């Protein structure tokens, strides 16, 4: 598609987190003018959200948050066509590049780009349990967004539950902000920490993560925050608002009164755009997530498309920054610029950083049998209120793929478009069919990749891709 209403760009970058900012900055320093489409109102991504005007200081947010200032300042100095508040709602691979539908200011524009860097980042894993749809229950990432954007903290001591580094980071930040958590419920058994310490290579590579986590845990314990390890089940109860949290440990259920529960069960690559472009994915056993294919050296996933940062596999902010830099160098190398001396130390640093991730992946594995152990009334798809029992019934009637389950039950048809229930549906199918996650498959992602109103669609400068 090409007409007078179509915009053109040599390089477009989707996302302005660490990977997107690094890629754009390096390209700009080489004389390119990349177009950066960012869903957020300001650059930084999730990790450096609101860093352009931080609401809280290092004493609350921690050193890692403010470390992004150097990258942010470099991005703001560069000659970049930055477009905040832009939603890429459809995309199509074509012979000479990629065509994008971009919604901004309630109007959709068509863009043809020769080279596309996807830096869409990660999202929190959807992890069903009874009552996770109740008011008063939210994901830890949402709690941290409120903290970063508005310096908002709970007005009551919250309960934090799940597993992963963000669980302890948010607890530490709440403590520093004057709202110590009432209780932390960690799905990782205490024995797992001891086991990891007996793996010297993993411990050595990941020692900075380990020391940081131990420091936070020590601070929390000294402040009197109780931590329960090895929870095997979780329930939220209340009518209409959360009133109690129930958790099972060592086969016994216990309860705590609570009006706020924040949960976190790890992060996974945000898949919609990459899947919408038809890029292949594979199940990554140690990350417990679907990860897109890409060429290891160049980070290219297809001709003219590069995947960087956590959207291509969870590696953290520093790794994302290096991958954005490497993708930019790959583009510059194709234009004939000498980049090998710059590229080599980045590749080595990235390799060291990713080797350290093995420690976190082993420490914070989510329980594989969790979903199958939930009651039939547990909602798997909160958007459409589809329960585990309804999905089991549909599979018993012959639904043998994610698309069929969607058609039978409307699971995945709500506002989140399957982002939160997609992995759970695949897990259920794999268990029911006795097959692998790859064989069970995933939803077929189609436009719109983000919600769009009929009015916005009517005002579009170009029709959506078929």
Percent above pLDDT 70 for the chain: 96
Mean pLDDT of 379-403: 97
- Does one domain contain both 250 and 226? yes
Q: Does some domain include residue 110?
A: yes
Q: Is the pLDDT of residue 90 over 70?
A: yes
Q: Is residue 449 part of a domain?
A: no
In a domain, 104, yes or no: yes
Q: Is residue 20 part of a domain?
A: yes
Same domain, 400 and 435: yes
Task: Check whether residue 138 and residue 255 sit in a common domain.
Answer: yes
Residue 281: both structure tokens together: 């994915």
Find the Cα–Cα–Cα–Cα dihedral 430, 377, 366, 68, rounded to 10°. 110
Residue 205 has pLDDT above 80, yes or no: no
- Co-location of 258 and 224 in the same domain: yes
CA distance 87 to 104: 7
pLDDT value at residue 107: 87
Alpha helix positions (H), 9-111 = 18-29, 58-61, 63-66, 69-77
pLDDT band at 1 (very low <50, low <70, confident <90, very high): very low
What is the pLDDT, as a whole number, of residue 5?
74
Q: Are residues 67 and 143 in the same domain?
A: no
Same domain, 243 and 272: no
What's residue 4's pLDDT? Answer: 44
In a domain, 466, yes or no: no
Give CA 49 to chain center in angstroms.
14
- Nearest CA to 229 among 164, 163, 185? 185
- Quote the pLDDT of residue 464: 56
281 in a structural domain: yes
Helix (H) or strand (E) holding 281: strand 281-284
DSSP assignment of 95-157: TTEEEEEEEETTEEEEEEEEEEEE---EEEPP---TTTTSTTEEEHHHHHHHHHHH----SSP
Residue 461 pLDDT exceeds 70: no
For residue 45 the two structure tokens come to: 């991504």
Q: Would residue 302 count as lying in a domain?
A: yes
For 256-281, what is the mean pLDDT? 97
- Mean pLDDT over 31-35 rounds to 98
Arithmetic mean of pLDDT over the chain: 93
Q: What would the mean pLDDT of 34-46 be, rounded to a whole number? A: 97
Residue 432's domain is classified under what CATH number? Answer: 1.10.10.1100
User: Are 76 and 200 in the same domain?
Assistant: no
Which of 265, 280, 308 delimits the end of a domain? 265
Domain boundary among the residues 290, 311, 336 is at 336
- Does residue 299 carry a pLDDT above 70? yes
Residue 362 confidence (pLDDT): 87
How many domains are there within the chain?
A: 3
Q: Which domain holds residue 394?
A: 371-440
- Give the confidence band of 208 by pLDDT, cuts at 50, 70, 90: confident
Q: What is the CATH number of the domain that holds 100?
A: 3.50.50.60
Question: Do 250 and 322 fall within a single domain?
Answer: no
pLDDT at 406: 97
For position 359, what pLDDT does the model report?
84
Judgement on whether residues 98 and 166 belong to the same structural domain of the protein? no
Indicate whether 463 belongs to any domain: no
Interval 44-72: pLDDT, tens: 999 999 998 888 888 899 888 888 999 99
Pure H helices in 285-376: 317-334, 340-363
Residues 92-108, mean pLDDT to the nearest whole number: 92
Please check whether residues 260 and 277 belong to one and the same domain.
no
Looking at residue 2, its pLDDT comes to 45
- 207 pLDDT band, cuts 50/70/90, is confident
pLDDT the model gives residue 466: 53
Same domain, 141 and 160: yes
pLDDT of the residue at 379: 98
Q: Which of 241, 265, 289 is where one domain is finished?
A: 265
Same domain, residue pair 106 and 224? no
Arithmetic mean of pLDDT, 122-132: 97
Residue range 443-464: mean pLDDT, rounded: 81
Mean pLDDT of 108-115: 95
Looking at per-residue pLDDT, the higher value among 2 and 133 belongs to 133
The pLDDT value recorded for residue 201 is 64
Among 211, 104, 121, residue whose Cα is nearest residue 165: 211
pLDDT higher than 50, residue 340: yes
């Amino acid at each position: 598609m090409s007409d007078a209403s179509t915009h053109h760009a040599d390089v477009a970058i989707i996302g302005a987190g660490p990977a997107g900012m690094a890629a754009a900055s390096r390209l700009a320093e080489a004389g390119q003018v990349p177009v950066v489409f960012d869903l957020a109102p300001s650059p930084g991504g999730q990790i450096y959200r609101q860093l352009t005007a931080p609401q809280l200081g290092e004493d609350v947010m921690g050193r890692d948050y403010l470390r992004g200032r150097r990258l942010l300042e470099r991005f703001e100095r560069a000659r970049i066509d930055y477009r905040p508040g832009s939603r890429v709602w459809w995309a199509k691979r074509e012979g000479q590049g990629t065509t994008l539908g971009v919604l901004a200011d309630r109007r959709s524009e068509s863009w043809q780009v020769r080279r596309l860097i996807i830096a869409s980042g990660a999202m929190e894993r959807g992890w069903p349990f009874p009552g996770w749809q109740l008011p008063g229950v939210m994901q830890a990432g949402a709690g941290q967004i409120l903290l970063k954007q508005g310096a908002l903290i709970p007005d009551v001591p919250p309960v934090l539950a799940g597993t992963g580094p963000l669980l302890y980071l948010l607890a530490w930040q709440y403590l520093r902000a004057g709202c110590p958590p009432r209780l932390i419920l960690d799905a990782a058994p205490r024995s797992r920490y001891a086991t990891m310490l007996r793996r010297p290579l993993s411990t050595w590579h990941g020692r900075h993560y380990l020391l940081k986590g131990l420091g936070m845990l020590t601070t929390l314990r000294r402040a009197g925050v109780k931590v329960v390890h090895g929870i095997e089940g979780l329930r939220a109860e209340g009518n209409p608002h959360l009133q109690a949290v129930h958790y099972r440990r060592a086969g016994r259920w216990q309860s705590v009164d609570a009006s706020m529960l924040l949960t976190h069960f790890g992060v996974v690559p945000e898949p919609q755009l990459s899947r919408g472009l038809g890029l292949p994915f594979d199940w990554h056993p140690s990350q417990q997530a679907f990860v897109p294919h890409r060429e290891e050296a160049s980070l290219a996933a297809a001709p003219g498309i590069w995947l960087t940062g956590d959207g291509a596999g969870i590696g953290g902010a520093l790794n994302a920054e290096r991958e954005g830099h490497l993708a930019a160098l790959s583009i510059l190398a194709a234009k004939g610029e000498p980049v090998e001396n710059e590229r080599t130390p980045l590749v080595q640093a990235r390799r060291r950083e990713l080797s350290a991730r093995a420690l976190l992946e082993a420490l914070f594995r989510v329980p594989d049998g969790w979903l199958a152990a939930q009651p039939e009334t547990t909602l798997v798809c909160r958007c459409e209120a589809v329960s585990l029992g309804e999905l089991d019934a549909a599979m018993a009637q012959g639904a043998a793929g994610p698309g069929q389950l969607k058609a039978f039950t409307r699971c995945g048809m709500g506002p989140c478009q399957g982002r939160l229930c997609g992995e759970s549906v695949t897990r259920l199918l794999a268990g029911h069919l006795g097959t692998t996650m790859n064989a069970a498959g995933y939803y077929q992602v189609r436009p719109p990749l983000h919600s769009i109103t009929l009015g916005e669609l009517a005002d579009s400068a170009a029709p959506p891709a078929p």
